Amino acid sequence: MNTADDNANLEVGPTAGELKARFGRDIFRDFDFEDPNFNDHFFDILDAQLAHCPVARSNVGHGYWWVTRNDDVRRIAQDWKTFSNALGYHPNRPEGVPYLYPEECDPPIHTAWRNLLSPFLSPKACAALEAMAREDVNTLIDRFIGRGECELISEFAGLVPGWAFFKNVCGVPVDDMQMLIEDLEFANFGPVSESEKKAKCYEKVFTYLGNFLKLRSQQPPKGDMVDGIAKGVIYKDGSASTWDENLSVLVDLVQGAIATTTYVMGSSIHHLATHPEDAKLLRENPELIPQAVEEFIRVFPPIVGLGRTCMQDTEISGTKITEGDFVMVVYSAASRDPRVVENPAKVDITRKNIVHSTFGVGPHRCVGSNLARMQLKATLEEWLKRIPEFSVKPGTSPVYSTAFMRSMHKLELVF
């Protein structure tokens, strides 16, 4: 396996000492996406890597490469034969953690699952859910609007995506949703030192959803996505998916539905709270909201980076990558690459022809992207109607955590 010394593609920029002084470590030669400094300096670190180090190196555990530039990210994401998902998306994966389909598999297995899931999450299917999503948004707003304040994540943005997926798509009891949210949050963002607890949280999620899927498999079919997942798929070689594979698909979808949209939703509302001129523009010109949603998705990417295993010796931006090396594809950085996005750090809700990789690229592109867009559009439209003027509560600021995903845990608003 290659090491930091093999990365000869560093461009002129800050020295190792300057990087350590600013970010607490050499983010070019000794990066760690679980370092708290990455959470605190998230965008600054991505921008520094984009400017000076297209392929950074991490020495954590078995090590991994960290690829940020748009062209490289798109190439890797589209070339699943050279960069496989089938060995997982997380570096230094703990033993015994089950793979999550369809994310952690390659064609033709991946193709079989995408063919099953896509019709249930198509633009037409998601449009049919929009009225229920709007009703959910207003039900939640009703709970706190009279107080003139709210904690956005626990009272709203942490619930809307779960309701949309659990209640409206899967039919999971809403009363059980908070437990799943809390367990998935700790499994994804809990401290590395508590790996045993993180594993138990994942186990609880698998157990709950396994029981739910088993129950649904014994009930008369409803013709929905859960029926399809419980039944499973037939692979190209004629074999049938196993029960564990079927369950992993449901867990993967649930994790994506909860963890990702909440961050974009919270960040979008935080931006409007701190940029009242943008909130006013959207109130007066609601036809701009779909465009604004796309810009918010670009600027506030919930998926920081997902990993691939290199299957043959190759090269990325002049850096040699050896068979067996682990490569993190940093979608969050690719969406703010100045080579493809003008003034990428600016949140411009009037931006045209928005280029981003937030939902991924290639065959593994997020299957739930249409659902996420629908929820965000419905949320912003209803929120701005009901709460036209709002701001961050004085003396408070958002609370974030960052790993291979980024999450907002707290945002206090007054209105």
Q: Tens of pLDDT along 41-58?
A: 999 999 999 999 999 999
**What residues of the chain score a pLDDT lower than 70?**
1-12, 192
Q: What is the pLDDT of residues 146-185, one digit of tens each?
A: 999 999 999 999 999 988 888 888 877 777 777 887 888 7
pLDDT value, residue 196? 81
Contact 326, 309 (CB under 8 A): yes
CB 216 within 8 A of CB 173: no
Please report the pLDDT score of residue 97 as a whole number: 79
Q: pLDDT value at position 10?
A: 65
The span from the CA of 303 to the CA of 336, in Å, is: 13
Question: pTM here?
Answer: 0.92
**What local confidence, expressed as pLDDT, does residue 254 receive?**
87
Residue 43 has what pLDDT? 97
Q: What is the pLDDT of residue 72?
A: 98
Q: Cβ-count burial of 206 within 10 angstroms (0-12 exposed, 13-18 middle, 19+ buried)? A: middle
Q: What is the pLDDT of residue 156?
A: 97
All domains in the chain, ordered by first residue:
55-337+347-414 (1.10.630.10)
For residue 198, the model assigns a pLDDT of 80
Cβ distance 170 to 226 under 8 Å? yes
Q: What is the dihedral of CA 374, 376, 382, 383, to 10 degrees?
A: 170
In whole angstroms, give the CA distance from residue 188 to residue 405: 8
